[in-house]
Amino acid sequence: MRLSAPAALLALALTGCALLRGPEEPRAPLPEGWDTVSPAAFEELLAREFAPGRPVFFEREAYELLTEALDRMDTSSVRAALVLAHSGHEVSSRRLMRRLARRIEGPEIGSDAGDIVAAAALPRFPHAAELYRDKLASLSVGRSPHPDLEVRVECAVSALALGDDRPVPFLLQVLRIDTYAGQADERDFAVSPQTAWARGRAAYALSRRAGIPCAYQPDGSIADREREAMRLEGLLLAAAPP
């Protein structure tokens, strides 16, 4: 069973408190069955093996196995990203960042789920703003963004959460996909028929940054989506420095 990006993000959010820095533990092996148990058992494994406030520093072999799983871009990649995220250790965060920095686009819809989880996880680590804010922003805007739209959006969401507003114009362009106003946008990304998730994440991040409830509906009418995009643009760009 494939764990979708939204489901994986929910699993990450439910136990985000485990990512607090605490006394470093000795090197630990990977939890047994992390890549073979059922989805329900995997969620139980995360809750059981990773206690809040206690970072887990894995053995070198464990980190290599998790890195290999990230590169497979399948269900095991999502699980590897979640295990690294829940470990809460800075070495784990570096593995996630290293994977994103490779800028690899998957061959199938859903191949990017592990990378999406990696991007969502990084702001939860200690010192994330200092270590990863600029790197996440560079994966969302600039000369060499991530080629996968969904991963790029999640990198932008995380950069924004860490205090970098540079991705705002890009996220507004994502909101304007399939609207009349969006036809005038000069995009540096390709648009696929499946953009509802990316547009929803962009709307969530922009609304949070503007300090308002998210009213954007990815499946709403063109007029409603265009109106909400214009409202967010007015709130966020009008107050931005020239």
What 8-state DSSP symbol labels residue 30?
P
pLDDT above 50: residue 20? no
What mean pLDDT do residues 183-201 have? 92
Structure token pair of residue 84: 């690294």
Q: What is the rounded end-to-end Cα distance, in angstroms, of the chain? A: 49
pLDDT one-digit tens code per residue, 22-37: 444 578 999 999 999 9
Please give the pLDDT value at position 53: 81
Please give the pLDDT value at position 1: 41
User: Do residues 135 and 127 touch, judged by C-beta distance below 8 A?
Assistant: no
Structure token pair of residue 202: 């962009």
What distances in angstroms separate CA 206 from CA 59, 190, 200, 230, 237, one per listed residue? 39, 21, 10, 12, 11
Q: Which of 161, 118, 165, 159 is nearest to 139 (CA)?
A: 159
Give the bridge partners for 28, in sequence order: 58
**Mean pLDDT of the residues in the chain:** 90
Of the pLDDT bands very low, low, confident and very high (cuts 50, 70, 90), residue 237 is confident
Alpha carbons 188 and 28: distance in angstroms, whole number:
43
Structure token pair of residue 77: 């990649």
The position carrying tokens 């061959």 is 107
Alpha carbons 125 and 17: distance in angstroms, whole number:
10
Q: Per-residue b/e over 90-112, b at no fewer than 16 CB within 10 Å?
A: bebbbbbbebbeeebebeeebbb
Please give the pLDDT value at position 193: 85
pLDDT one-digit tens code per residue, 119-164: 999 999 999 999 999 999 999 999 999 999 999 999 999 999 999 9
Q: Which residues contact 193 (CB under 8 A, 6 or more apart)?
A: none
pLDDT one-digit tens code per residue, 89-131: 999 999 999 999 999 998 888 899 999 999 999 999 999 999 9
User: Cβ atoms within 10 A of the Cβ of 38, count?
Assistant: 10
Please give the pLDDT value at position 21: 43
What distances in angstroms separate CA 122 from CA 177, 234, 237, one per listed residue? 27, 29, 26
